[in-house]
């Protein structure tokens, strides 16, 4: 299942209660397919996350520039949901498009920024930095 970010945003608008939103994020993580065993490598680990987070990036040549496809996982339920959000936001996009996306503005719009602990917020920033780094590397290649 790959949720599209617009669908997630509209679902969030329908959910008033923060506890329900939290459960929805966890559900997004549960729906995300597990990574293959070989993807749980150190080079896929995201540094700067309190929980363990793995992000695997595949780069394909595309019309108008390289396209990044992401897969990920975490050992924490809520963080796995945040990984699913990142994948919905960034995966399948061209590298230059990825560099234009302001994830923090979207997290503010969803109300996540104010409800995440500082550690989780740092982890989200670390994931965004990692994805942006991979996009820059794909453009430079």
CA distances from 135 to 67, 70, 91, 127 (A): 8, 11, 11, 12
Catalytic residue among 49, 83, 87, 89: 49
pLDDT in tens, 39-88: 999 999 999 878 999 999 999 999 999 999 999 999 999 999 999 999 99
Range of the domain at 78: 5-140
pTM listed for this prediction? 0.93
CA distance linking residue 39 with residue 121, whole number of Å: 24
Question: Is residue 49 annotated as a catalytic residue, yes or no?
Answer: yes
- Is the pLDDT assigned to residue 2 strictly greater than 50? no
Task: List CB contacts of 85: < 8 A, sequence separation 6 or more.
Answer: 5, 8, 25, 28
**CATH number of the domain that 40 lies in?**
3.90.1010.10
CA distance linking residue 54 with residue 71, whole number of Å: 8
Residue 141: both structure tokens together: 């290649």
Domain count, the chain: 1
pLDDT in tens, 80-127: 999 999 999 999 999 999 999 999 888 888 888 888 888 888 999 999
């Amino acid at each position: 299942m790959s949720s599209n970010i617009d669908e997630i945003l509209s679902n969030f608008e329908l959910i008033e209660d923060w506890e329900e939103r939290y459960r929805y994020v966890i559900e997004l993580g549960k729906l995300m397919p597990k990574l293959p065993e070989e993807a749980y490598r150190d080079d896929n680990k995201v540094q700067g996350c309190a929980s363990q987070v793995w992000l695997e990036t595949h780069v394909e040549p595309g019309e108008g520039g390289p396209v990044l496809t992401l897969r990920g996982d975490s050992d924490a339920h809520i963080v796995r949901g945040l990984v699913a959000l990142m994948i919905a936001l960034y995966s399948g996009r061209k590298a230059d498009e990825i560099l234009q996306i302001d994830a923090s503005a979207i997290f503010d719009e969803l109300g996540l920024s104010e409800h995440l602990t500082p550690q989780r917020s740092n982890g989200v920033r670390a994931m965004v930095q990692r994805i942006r780094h991979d996009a820059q590397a794909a453009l430079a290649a």
